[in-house]
């Protein structure tokens, strides 16, 4: 009996895990829609359950409200949840294999797409951090990861010879470059220029390419 039962048990376990993962994706997707449209405080676990067409108990079993907001942002921005480095996410997959002549353009294209999907959730996350300690702590981690990601980007640009001397002095200051890149490519810049000022996505992307090129240009 054992040789027959063990594969069956393993199959059932894999099936349950797959179902649980699918349910969690539905819950996170529903939560993302509601957080983006209604904000953090107004979005209840019951509302998320209705949107996801599951029970409230299922939503609570999937994650806390704060965890759902964080998961919603991460998935919408990078396509992956709980990954430390952007290069290891769906968004960053194969990024360092891109040729030098299109590397900056490709990174900007990916970040623009990510910002278009996630800028509303980023605003909600910032607001929620003011009153929710769990979100506030997670925001600190997200910002630390963002800083590390842009240091890696600045280092890669320098390694490829796409950065000359920086805007401050004669040597490339990776930390300063990372700070500027993080500011330029932030969800905030997308929201202000595209959503608030009415720029087209193409105009925004072209602006980023000019600004990043300026950051990397030799100082005079």
What's the pLDDT tens digit per position in 155-212?
999 888 887 544 445 566 889 999 999 999 999 999 999 999 999 999 999 999 999 9
Give first-to-last CA distance, the chain, whole Å: 80
Share of the chain above pLDDT 90, in %: 75
What's the pLDDT tens digit per position in 30-63?
999 999 999 999 999 999 999 999 999 999 999 9
Q: Is the pTM of this model over 0.95?
A: no
Q: What is the pLDDT of residue 217?
A: 54
CB atoms near residue 55 (< 10 Å):
12
């Amino acid at each position: 009996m054992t040789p027959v039962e063990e594969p069956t048990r393993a199959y059932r376990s894999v099936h349950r895990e797959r179902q649980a993962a699918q349910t969690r994706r539905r819950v996170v997707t529903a939560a993302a829609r509601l957080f983006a449209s209604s904000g953090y405080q107004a979005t209840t676990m019951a509302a998320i359950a209705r949107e996801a067409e599951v029970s409230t108990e299922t939503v609570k079993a999937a994650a806390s409200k704060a965890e759902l907001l964080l998961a919603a942002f991460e998935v919408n921005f990078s396509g992956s949840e709980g990954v430390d480095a952007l290069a290891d996410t769906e968004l960053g997959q194969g990024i360092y294999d891109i040729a030098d002549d299109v590397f900056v353009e490709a990174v900007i294209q990916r970040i623009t797409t990510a910002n278009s999907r996630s800028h509303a959730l980023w605003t909600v996350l910032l607001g929620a951090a003011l009153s929710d300690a769990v979100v506030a702590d997670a925001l600190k981690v997200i910002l630390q990861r963002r800083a590390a990601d842009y240091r890696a980007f600045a280092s890669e640009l320098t390694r490829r010879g796409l950065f000359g001397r920086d805007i401050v002095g004669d040597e490339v200051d990776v930390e300063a470059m990372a700070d500027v890149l993080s500011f330029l490519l932030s969800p905030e810049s997308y929201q202000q220029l595209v959503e608030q000022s009415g720029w087209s996505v193409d105009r925004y992307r072209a602006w980023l390419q000019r600004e990043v090129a300026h950051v990397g240009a030799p100082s005079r």
